[in-house]
Amino acid sequence: MRHFYIIFAVLLITACDDGDIITVDLEFNEDLELCTTAEDAFLIYSVKEEPSESLTLIIPRNSGANVPFTEPNFPDINTPPSTYPIGGASSPVRFIYRKYNRTLGSNELCEIIPPGDLDIINNSESSDGDVYVTVIVEDDDLDDIPSELEGRGEMDEEGNYPDAIDTDGDGIPNYQDEDDDGDNVLTKFEIIVDDIDNDGDPTNNLDTDGDGTPDYLDTDDDGDMIATINEDSSGEQNPRNSANAVVDNNGIDTFRYLYNGADDVDVPNMQSSENEFRRSIEAIFFITNFSLETISVTELNFGTLSYDITIQSAE
């Protein structure tokens, strides 16, 4: 999945000045920042202090969009990432280098009206080049199980996953479902995250009743013949509510759905219809063949922009 941008990462940054090839010092913080204050554009930038400089990428903003990207494109060695040309009459994408008279404060580049004591002492904008963007979502529903381990399957030509597994049949595939088995206990509470056996699967799944089905896919976690969803007297569609707390035969505090000795509650409950979660986005930027005044750069790892967005799955 990451082959394409790894190839870019090992390329040297070079420049031409009056015909001489030199190494360009564009070592900025590769953790990019985002400005959303402009109505028609997103500003994606990186700064450094000594000297006080910034690199800013400006890309168009669709009406109503809160962030630049919401969906992965998963480029690989045969599928290049999304490409945006810089400058020219046909492209609104801009790439700008600036140097300032003092150190930039937090988020000052996002202010509509610049501070009165902040002066730009060097300004250079590229009129050419290309921006390559790789958008990655490793865990679509932030349940701590990588999407590729949740039976997502292969992406089709339209960017969908038609063969994705949906364990509880609620119309939301596991890789986007915060409750994979539909027992009203969120998946993130039914797994062990540490990759203890170093098998590449960080979940090392809990299996409370030892029946071979991990808790996050098991509708009866403790094997007491009462469905987990029904071991809930709270009336709030939540088996982990304090109303369902018990003490097991070892004197350990737990919940009724995890202790087969507590089989006194069997209340028919409906599956929760809520499925709002946070998706973590990584957008990785490479900029190629751009010019800043007398400097022409072949390849630049601009950096990675990371943010979370709220997703509401439709049933």
- Vertex 58, ends 52 and 63: CA angle to 5°? 140
CB atoms < 10 A from the CB of 222, how many? 23
pLDDT tens digit string along 268-294? 999 987 766 678 889 999 999 998 876
- Looking at the fold, whether 118 and 167 belong to one and the same domain comes out as no
Cα–Cα dist 109/115, whole Å:
10
Does 202 map to a domain?
yes
Cα–Cα dist 31/124, whole Å:
22
- Looking at the fold, whether 15 and 123 belong to one and the same domain comes out as yes
> With contact defined as beta carbons under 8 Å apart, do 161 and 175 qualify?
yes
State pTM to two decimals: 0.71
CB atoms < 10 A from the CB of 314, how many? 6
Does 14 map to a domain?
yes
- Looking at the fold, whether 134 and 282 belong to one and the same domain comes out as yes
Q: What is the pLDDT of residue 193?
A: 82
The structural domain count of the chain equals: 2
CB atoms < 10 A from the CB of 147, how many? 21
- Looking at the fold, whether 119 and 160 belong to one and the same domain comes out as no
The single-letter DSSP state of residue 9 is H
| 55 beta partners | 46, 97
Residue-range definition of the domain harbouring residue 203 = 156-177+179-274
- Looking at the fold, whether 170 and 229 belong to one and the same domain comes out as yes
Comparing 50-54, 71-75, 183-187, 214-218, the range with the smallest average pLDDT is 71-75
Does 73 map to a domain?
yes
- Looking at the fold, whether 130 and 29 belong to one and the same domain comes out as yes
Does 130 map to a domain?
yes
Does 64 map to a domain?
yes
More confident residue, 186 or 141: 186
Q: What is the pLDDT of residue 42?
A: 96
Does 171 map to a domain?
yes
State mean pLDDT over 156-162. Answer: 82
Q: What is the pLDDT of residue 268?
A: 94
